[in-house]
Each structure stands twice: as C-alpha cells, then as structure tokens.
Amino acid sequence: MSDSQNELLQDYKDNLLGVFGDPALVLTEGQGVYVTDANGKRYLDLLGGIAVNSIGYAHPDWVAAVSEQAGKLAHISNLFTSPQGISLAHQLLELTDAPEGSHVFFANSGSEANEAAFKLARRHGAARPGPDGAARTRVLALENAFHGRTMGSLALTAKEAYRAPFEPLPGGVTHIPASIEALEAELDDTVSALIVEPVQGESGVHVLPDGFLARARELTREHGALLIVDEVQSGIGRTGQWLATTAQLPEGVFPDAITLAKGLGGGFPIGAMITVGTEVSSLLTAGQHGTTFGGNPLATAAASATLDVIKDEGLLGNADVVGAHLAAALNDLPEVREVRQHGLLIGIDLVQDSPEQALAPAVVTAARAAGFIINATGPSTVRLAPPLIITAQETDSFVASLPGIIRDARAALA
C-alpha cells in the first residue's frame, strides 16, 4: 500500500500553517461510526469529531437534506430568512420547551454563540444597572470552564495557557470554583451574568455539583443577573436529554440563555443562542449583532435533519443505554480509576504509574494504532463522545481492546 497518509501529512507540515499543531491523520471518508484514513485504514470513531457527528457520518437523511438544499438555496445572508431557518428555530424552541417569547439567534460555531451570549450579558448589564446606577459589567464564569477561543469567549474560558498569549482580554470576568459557597460569596448586584457548562467537557467531563445550577438560578434571579448555560458540548442529546440543563433544574425552570453548536449540525458548522422569554429576547435589538452566514438555509437544513434523526431513531435513549453499558464495562477494568458518564459524554481517568506520567496522550496514540479514535483532556484523562448511533457491541470492541492499548502506551512511555 502506498503511504499517501505520510506524504499528505508531510506536505501539511512543510507547507501549511499548522495552528492546531500536527494533525495525527488525514481522513478521507466517514460512514456511520467509522472513518477511513488516506491509507485506507478504518477507525471506530469514539470522539465523533469532538461531539459533533451526533448522527454519525453520512447518515442518508442528512445527506439527502443537505444535497437537496444545496441544489435549491444555500446562502442568503442575514438580510433575509428562509423556511429552513424559521423551521429550525421552531424546532429548537419546541425541543427545549422554551416558554412563549423565546427567540433563537443563529451563529456558526460554539465560540460565536457564546460571543452573542457575552454581548447579551453586556446589554442586560446596561438595561439593569447596579445599585449605584452604573451598568453592571461583571460576568461570573467557572474555574476550568471552556467557552471558546475567540476574544470574548476566551475571556470566559478559564484555561491560563489559552488566555495568557492574548492578554488583554475583554474585562470584567471573574472565575469562581464550581461550589455553591463560592457562588453565594461572589454573586451580588454588580453581576450581569453567570455562565456555566452543565457538564464541563474540555476539562475532562465534570458535571456541576448537585444543586449548583438550581441555586445559581435562585441567586441570579434574586440579584437580577442572567443565567447563561453553555450547552455547546453537552446539548442536543449528548447526555441522553436534549439539554443537560434539564436534569439540573426543577421542571419548568429555565436559564435565561442557552448556547448550542457542535452536535446541532451533525457535522455542518452551526451555532445558536436561545434567549428565554420576552424580556431577555428583547435585550439585543435589530442591528446590534449579526453574522453573514449565521442561520443560512444549508446549515439550518442540515441541523433540522440532524434533530429529526435524533428524534426518529430514539438516540436520546440510545445515548443513555449505550453510555451506561460502556461506563459499566470500563469500570470493570483495573486500568481505569474513575469513569464520569453522562449519556455518551464520558471521561475516563486512567491509573497512572506516577503522577508525572502523561499516560492519556500515549493511550490516544496507541488507540489510534489499534483502530480507535479517542482524545485526552489531561495527562491521565481520556474522553469519549461518539456518535449517538453507536451500539453496545461497537463499544464492547473498544473496551475489549483497551487493556492491550494501555499496555502498548505504557511500553511506548518506558
């Protein structure tokens, strides 16, 4: 077999700007839960394009919807709208059960959805001044938060290594520990918004502590601040419900804004911000925010097809059942220290030989050699976020191979 893959990777390395570092593979095809590289090697994709390929690769309904829409009307700009954009907005409001007066703003990524939410917080801060009459400009976010890498979303992101090279970032953001005590200490009448991920994905799959979000809702209401939930990674079925927030708030209680992206388009770049209720939905007025591509007919048709497949194929239930099956099997392995499972968003802490050992990145490499795609979120943690169509049998093949993969990784590190 010719080594097309290495030739292409070398070309990338020599001639292209590798802002993401060196890519590990050149992928040429995807079908269902499998992808194929430039050498024809097939991998079981347990990462799903980092929680994006929610209905797997090349789902026939998605392909048909995208193809048909591409042949009809792909892009129209934000000066116009389309039946596809309107229909997707209705679908999102319905599946999130958002109350009357809620609106949807379309963006092109998770970072952009969070930029919109940040702007919403600024508008709210101006509309609802603090006790001294001045606009509230403080935004609270959580330690270990990841909200994106554009300047505004980066200001909300906690990770110092991502932030430091780009200082000064937009100001006013305070990162607090994800504890009710810290929240009670920091949330006061100077705060315009609190933004949280119901399950932090990039930090290694950590759910908010019990009762945190419900208390955050009470406190934000009490102090007149917005509660914004970033469901970019945890939303659209990933945790076994349309929104992870649903499991963390009492029935009928909503945040003020919800941001979505990743799994929403099933592989098509699209983000969204849902503003909940009339008051919050009127904060951003016409012309204050927008994007050229956001909500275009092609992207919204792709997202609608994705939501239909998730619903029609019962993928929320599948995420629950297969996720629990996979977690139970992983928990039985002596090489695994802890599993954090929320539907099909799973963080696995591995048993390391020493605290300094970077076992997880070596496991990712060894897994790839064995035909599995996963990623590392830290030195001892790997994350799984496979397509929601994955079967228990497919996950079994990974669990059966994992001890051997870890053995290979240890050998590579020795």
* 198 counts as binding ligand PLP under rule CB under 6 A: no
- Whether the CA torsion 309, 108, 376, 15 is positive or negative: it is positive
* 111 counts as binding ligand PLP under rule CB under 6 A: yes
Q: What is d(CA 234, CA 113) in angstroms, rounded to the nearest whole number?
A: 14
- Does the annotation count 398 as an active-site position? no
* 110 counts as binding ligand PLP under rule CB under 6 A: yes
Q: Which residues contact 245 (CB under 8 A, 6 or more apart)?
A: 198, 213, 229, 231, 255, 258
Given the rule CB under 6 A, which of 127-135, 141-149, 214-222, 238-246 is the region that contacts ligand PLP?
141-149
Q: Which residues contact 6 (CB under 8 A, 6 or more apart)?
A: none
- Minimal CB distance to ligand PLP: which residue? 110
- Does the annotation count 230 as an active-site position? yes
User: Under rule CB under 6 A, which residues in 373-392 are in contact with ligand PLP?
Assistant: none
Site pattern 143..182 for ligand PLP (x: CB under 6 A):
---xxx----------------------------------
Total residues contacting ligand PLP by CB under 6 A comes to: 14
For residue 52, give the 3-state DSSP assignment: coil
The answer to whether 109 and 291 are in contact (CB under 8 A) is: no
Residue 110 CA, distance from chain mean position: 7
The answer to whether 330 and 75 are in contact (CB under 8 A) is: no
Q: To the nearest whole angstrom, how small is the minimum distance from the Cβ of residue 97 to ligand PLP?
A: 21
User: Under rule CB under 6 A, which residues in 205-234 are in contact with ligand PLP?
Assistant: 230, 232-233
- The HSE-up count of residue 329 (CA atoms within 13 Å, CB side) is 19
Q: Tell whether residue 254 is among the known ligand binding residues.
A: no
- Whether the CA torsion 43, 2, 410, 349 is positive or negative: it is negative
Identity of the residue, 233 or 291, whose beta carbon is nearer to ligand PLP in the bound complex: 233
Q: How far apart are the first and last CA of the chain?
A: 31
* 202 counts as binding ligand PLP under rule CB under 6 A: yes
- Does the annotation count 372 as an active-site position? no
* 255 counts as binding ligand PLP under rule CB under 6 A: no
Q: To the nearest whole angstrom, how small is the minimum distance from the Cβ of residue 149 to ligand PLP?
A: 7
* 295 counts as binding ligand PLP under rule CB under 6 A: no
Q: Out of 105, 106, 118, 146, pick the active-site residue.
A: 146
Q: Which residues contact 113 (CB under 8 A, 6 or more apart)?
A: 105, 107, 232, 259, 260, 261, 271, 272, 273
Active site positions, annotated: 146, 230, 262
> Which parts of this chain interact with ligand PLP (CB under 6 A)?
109-111, 114, 146-148, 197, 201-202, 230, 232-233, 261
